[in-house]
Structure 1
Amino acid sequence: MQGKPLTILLAGPRGFCAGVERAILIVERALEVYGAPVYVRHEIVHNRFVVESLEAKGAIFVKELDEVPSGVPVIFSAHGVPKSVPAEADRRELLYVDATCPLVSKVHREAERHHAQGRHIVMIGHAGHPEVVGTLGQLPPGAISLVESLEDVARLEPPAGKRLSFVTQTTLSVDDTAEIVAALQARFPAIEAPRKEDICYATTNRQQAVKALAPECDALLVVGAPNSSNSRRLVEVAQRAGCDRAYLVQRASDIDWAALEGVSTLGITAGASAPDVLVEEMIAACRERYDVTLQERVQTREDVHFKLPRVLQGAGADQ
């Protein structure tokens, strides 16, 4: 196989989004400001490489706050948390830093606004995903109905006489969500939509880049974790756009080279929580086996930047 030509098409944009960059920086700066250890509730982002890198610097990842000892700082992940979590941290007098992505926080505030105006909220999202758990936990039980599919919309029985609104998880398939929104609006014509699209810019941009790239590829690798919603959606988008051989791969060591037999054009992208070093690792692994020609296909440029929380800005942390 050595020396066989392979064209790699790199999707752009790919990899880290502003919310992920901010969350990782929050942990790194908290370690600088407070010293190790700093505790983090849940994976800060869905990527084992990132988590292990932060563990090596002194971060300790836990499932729940009861694992956090008194007197040490704790950080909430980028996916957002139910209101019960900061309330419990306050009760225990823990110092906490909220790394929730500002675009997820926007959905939280939107849900609160709809609730305050007397509407019942329908959330489009994946049951059990940390972001969905966090959004449902902004309001009292029963205030939000979760739908995952067109079938869920057909079965939905909202409270009688209640006006309706909808919000969405930020990392969904753009096309799937559009279908579900259309079904909701067909069943409930008066349902109120978000003021601005809930699916985040990074999810949308990465899906558009893959959609443009996939028809040119014999196979396509998505660098990302199996529990990363936005990464899994990229695989689905590639397959629907004409690249049947689209695979989610965490590291170069996980590549199934037999599955790439006969491939002459390989697409590579990365989910929003996957660092570029893992993409470089994949390309290097390909170079060991093929005579690689590298081309980048950039659909759009991103310049979004989110500030750090004020508690870390005060330490001169917001560069």
Structure 2
Amino acid sequence: MKNKHLKILLSAPRGFCAGVERAIEIVEKSIKKFGAPVYVRHEIVHNKYVVDDLKNKGAIFVEELEEIEDRTRPVIFSAHGVPKKIPEDAKNYKMTYIDATCPLVSKVHREAENLHKAGYHLILIGHQNHPEVIGTMGQLPEGSIDLVQNEDEAKKYKPQNNKKISYVTQTTLSVDDTKDIIQILKDRFPNIKEPMKEDICYATTNRQLAVKNIAKKCDLFFVIGSRNSSNSVRLVEVAKKSGCSNSLLIHSQSEIPFDLIKDSNIIGISSGASAPEILVNNFINELKNKFTVSIDEVEIIKENVVFKAPKKLN
């Protein structure tokens, strides 16, 4: 197979976004400042490689604060955001906490609160049980925000009261799918209030555009990322919809499908916003072991967004 030539179209931008970089930096700086262990509530970002690396450095991951045995140690909240109740619980436990919520998720939280205060009933477009959705819904009193997950639910949605309605969205959704759901809601509720600025984050949008740009030229498309990473799963869907029906997620347990690859001439590669570049390099190296590879990086936009870690960690 070694003399089989394989052309790789490498999607850019890909991989870490500013919110993920900041969250990882917060864990690393916390370990440096407070010593090990530090606790992290929920996976800091949805990637096994990143989580394992931080465990080796001294982070202990828990799902709930109640699991933390030594409450003199600091706890970090994940990039996905947490319900209001969690920081309150941490205060009651007299715990030091550091919030690594992505600033773009925090923006949605503030937006939801302001709309609620202004007398709106809210719709959140998102995926049930995703930590970001749990966090956003947890900013408001029970019953004041409803989840709509797809077009079907948007068509059937019935407001529970006669309040004005508005919507916000999860930051890691597919831009196109969300657009269709929003259109249904706008057709049904012409006065629905929309966010001042798009909620779907810049990194999600850019990565989806980059994949769209090359998918139709590819025989096979791979997205490097975790199964529980919403933005990675969306990238696979975007590649399929954009003309490459053979699109797959490569996660930590994946076997590389060499039999499919050997029947392909052009393959596309991208990675989710929580997947480190080393995983992309490792994947490409596996291909280089078996094929003659040429790589063409196709960049549609330069990203220069940086979110700084809290000053108290310096």
Q: Does 1:71 align with 2:48?
A: no
Q: Does 1:302 align with 2:311?
A: no
Question: In the alignment, is the contact (CA less than 8 A) between 2:227 and 2:249 conserved in 1?
Answer: yes
Question: In the alignment, is the contact (CA less than 8 A) between 2:126 and 2:170 conserved in 1?
Answer: yes
Residue-pair matches, total: 313
- Partners of 2:247 and 2:199 lie apart in 1 by 26
* Alpha-carbon offset, residue 132 of structure 1: 0.1
SS at match of 1:9: strand
Show the counterpart of 1:7: 7
Percent sequence identity over aligned pairs: 54
TM-score, normalised relative to structure 2: 0.98
Answer with 177-186 or 252-261: which moved more.
252-261
Q: Does 1:246 align with 2:252?
A: no
The alpha-carbon distance between structure 1 residues 100 and 178, as it changes in their structure 2 partners (threshold 3 A), is same
- Partners of 1:285 and 1:14 lie apart in 2 by 19
Matches within 5 A, 1:1-319: 1-68=1-68, 69-251=70-252, 254-312=255-313, 315=314
- Partners of 2:254 and 2:81 lie apart in 1 by 31
CA offsets, 1:124-167, max 9 Å, x none?
Answer: 00000000000000000111010011111121111332101100
- Partners of 1:94 and 1:236 lie apart in 2 by 41
- Partners of 1:252 and 1:161 lie apart in 2 by 49
Answer with 73-82 or 261-270: which moved more.
261-270
Unaligned runs of 5+ residues in structure 2 are none
CA offsets, 1:224-244, max 9 Å, x none?
Answer: 000000000000000001101
* Alpha-carbon offset, residue 307 of structure 1: 1.3
- Partners of 1:277 and 1:12 lie apart in 2 by 15
The alpha-carbon distance between structure 1 residues 139 and 212, as it changes in their structure 2 partners (threshold 3 A), is same
Aligned Cα root-mean-square deviation (Å): 1.0
The alpha-carbon distance between structure 1 residues 208 and 272, as it changes in their structure 2 partners (threshold 3 A), is same
SS at match of 1:167: strand
SS at match of 1:216: coil
The letter of the residue matching 1:305 is V
* Alpha-carbon offset, residue 309 of structure 1: 1.6
Question: In the alignment, is the contact (CA less than 8 A) between 1:251 and 1:282 conserved in 2?
Answer: no
Which of structure 1's runs of 4+ aligned residues deviate more than 4 A? none
Unaligned runs of 5+ residues in structure 1 are none
